[in-house]
Amino acid sequence: MDERERIEEIARANAAVAAAQDRSYWLDRWHVDLNAVMRRRGASELRALVRAMRAVYRLLSDARRELRKAARQAPEKLASARRGVAQEQQRAAAMGSASAGRGEPATRRALIEAGLEPRPGDPWLRAGAGGASPLDQLDAVRAGLAPDARVVVEADGVSPATMLARSTPDWRIALYLDGDPDVYVLEPR
């Protein structure tokens, strides 16, 4: 062992002795025998309680640190959300769907792009003010339609399988637009 390693070993030993003296100073000053205290009944429960309190303190400290971090990031996240909303509003205005929040111009544009431009005689069914289902309305308008008429149905909460089951065998689904509400274009078979 060379001289340098010997000096480092002595320094570590002195640091350990100093740490032990720091820990025992108050016990000596108050004349407390820690071994005798720990032999008494309830000492292990006391240690467990102290460990539990220390764990709760650390948990609260970590939670406070996370809250501070989130509070620092909140303005940036809010600005990002506002930018996203503004972009969505611009996109919606560009698509022409800003009328009354229903998205009707965008739906009509999608129908036109699919080659299914609504014709004047084609009924457009949506849930009525009285709560009548578009499927019930479809049953009512079938009788009075021209042979080549199409029906556009806005069905909120109606699955494609339900629509298919209610409209076949007389009708076929020519177009389905997933959205809020879903839009179906039905043509006679």
Q: Check whether residue 162 and residue 129 sit in a common domain.
A: yes
**Is 63 within the bounds of a domain?**
yes
Residue 105: pLDDT band with limits 50, 70, 90? low
Provide long-range contacts, Cβ within 8 A and 24+ apart, for 135-144.
135/162, 135/163, 135/166, 138/166, 138/167, 138/186, 139/166, 142/170
Q: Decide: 121 and 146 in contact? Cβ < 8 Å.
A: yes
Best-predicted range by mean pLDDT among 66-75, 81-90, 125-134, 163-172? 66-75
- Tell whether 84 is covered by a domain: no
The pLDDT value recorded for residue 100 is 42
Whether residue 177 sits in one domain with residue 135: yes
- Residues 6+ positions from 65 with CB-CB distance below 8 Å: none
Q: Are residues 68 and 12 in the same domain?
A: yes
| For residue 122, pLDDT beyond 90 | no
Within a domain: 92? no
Residue 158 has pLDDT above 90, yes or no: no
Tell me, what's the pLDDT at 64? 96
Whether the predicted pLDDT of 72 surpasses 90: yes
Mean predicted confidence (pLDDT) in 132-142: 68
Domain assignment present for residue 37? The answer is yes
By mean pLDDT, which of 57-71, 113-127, 149-163, 171-185 is the weakest? 113-127
Edge-first strand order for the sheet with 182-188 is 124-125, 151-155, 182-188, 171-177
Do 181 and 145 lie in a common domain? yes
Q: What is the pLDDT of residue 97?
A: 43
Among 35, 62, 79, the domain-final residue is 79
Find the mean pLDDT for residues 50-74. Answer: 95
Question: In angstroms, rounded to a whole number, what is the distance separating the alpha carbons of residues 189 and 184?
Answer: 15
pLDDT greater than 90 at residue 185:
no
Last residue of a domain, one of 44, 79, 114: 79
For the chain, the average pLDDT equals 80
**Count: domains in the chain:** 2
Q: Which domain holds residue 48?
A: 3-79
Same domain, residue pair 75 and 117:
no
Same domain? For 123 and 54 the reply is no
Rg (CA), the chain: 38
Residue 180 lies in a domain: yes
